[in-house]
Amino acid sequence: MARNAEKAMTTLARWRAAQVQEAGGQRERRPYLASECNDLPQAEKWRLQIVREIAKKVAQIQNAGLGEFRIRDLNDEINKLMREKRHWEVQIKALGGPDHARVGPKMLDQDGKEVPGNRGYKYFGAAKDLPGVRELFEQEPPPPARRTRADLMRDVDADYYGYRDDDDGLLLPLEAEAEKEGEYTSRVDARRGRRLLQI
């Protein structure tokens, strides 16, 4: 393989250097901080450049044959670019541009459902199959929290104790019937009591 000094002397490398020099020197570099950019079209341009870099690295990380360390490095770089993209989106919104975070694509899981907490560190492509990462996705959800006394008492009201049973109007006729029946049985019991006393 050729050394870097030899590569720099090839015809293609010299032609490319001449093209760059004619075009006005070096390529424009993206500002380190998104807050340094105060021009909306420039901010949109830098965000689009980051999106392209993310797409390129996501395509690279799909190859499981890269090796564990290269996959981990690529995943770290993608997450760093995602964080930088978020900073540019905030700056674009501050400059009066569209809110890309609201209208952008949603993060979906394997079933096609939107991932609820997708703000933290993400794993892409072959990084999902790395040792230790697979267990993160297969973790069982934590058991439901125990209900506190306050949660249990929240449903207890006058209906629970039966204080409003008379309000529906069904109980009054049944009680009247039971009272008439009760008077008859109490008279019979009273007569039986007298007979027992006489014997």
pLDDT in tens, 63-122: 888 888 999 999 999 999 999 999 999 999 999 988 887 776 565 555 555 555 456 788
Under a CB-based contact definition with an 8 Å cutoff, are residues 90 and 34 in contact? yes
Phi, psi (rounded to 5 degrees) for 170: -85, -30
**Domain range summary for the chain, segments of one domain joined by +:** 27-107+118-134, 166-199
Distance, in Å, from the CA atom of 145 to the CA atom of 127, rounded to the nearest integer, reads 32
Q: Which pLDDT band, with edges at 50, 70 and 90, does 173 fall under?
A: confident
State the chain's mean pLDDT as an integer.
78
- The whole-number average pLDDT for the span 33-53 is 91
Q: Which pLDDT band, with edges at 50, 70 and 90, does 50 fall under?
A: very high
Q: Which pLDDT band, with edges at 50, 70 and 90, does 2 fall under?
A: low
From 26-30, 49-53, 148-152, 192-196, the region with the lowest mean pLDDT: 192-196
Helix/strand/coil (H/E/C) assignment for every residue in the chain: CCCHHHHHCCHHHHHHHHHHHHCCCCCCCCCCCHHHCCCHHHHHHHHHHHHHHHHHHHHHHCCHHHCHHHHHHHHHHHHHHHHHHHHHHHHHHHCCCCCHHHHCCCCECCCCCECCCCCCCCCCHHHHHCCCHHHHHHCCCCCCCCCCHHHHHCCCCHHHHCCCHHHHCCHHHHHHHHHHHHHHHHHHHHHHHHHHHHC
Entry pTM: 0.54
Under a CB-based contact definition with an 8 Å cutoff, are residues 58 and 78 in contact? yes
Q: Which pLDDT band, with edges at 50, 70 and 90, does 48 fall under?
A: very high
- pLDDT attached to residue 105: 59
- The whole-number average pLDDT for the span 129-143 is 77
Q: Which pLDDT band, with edges at 50, 70 and 90, does 180 fall under?
A: confident
CATH 1.10.287.660 assigned to 27-107+118-134: yes
User: How big is the chain by its Cα radius of gyration, in Å?
Assistant: 39
Under a CB-based contact definition with an 8 Å cutoff, are residues 89 and 43 in contact? no
- pLDDT attached to residue 44: 92
- pLDDT attached to residue 139: 67
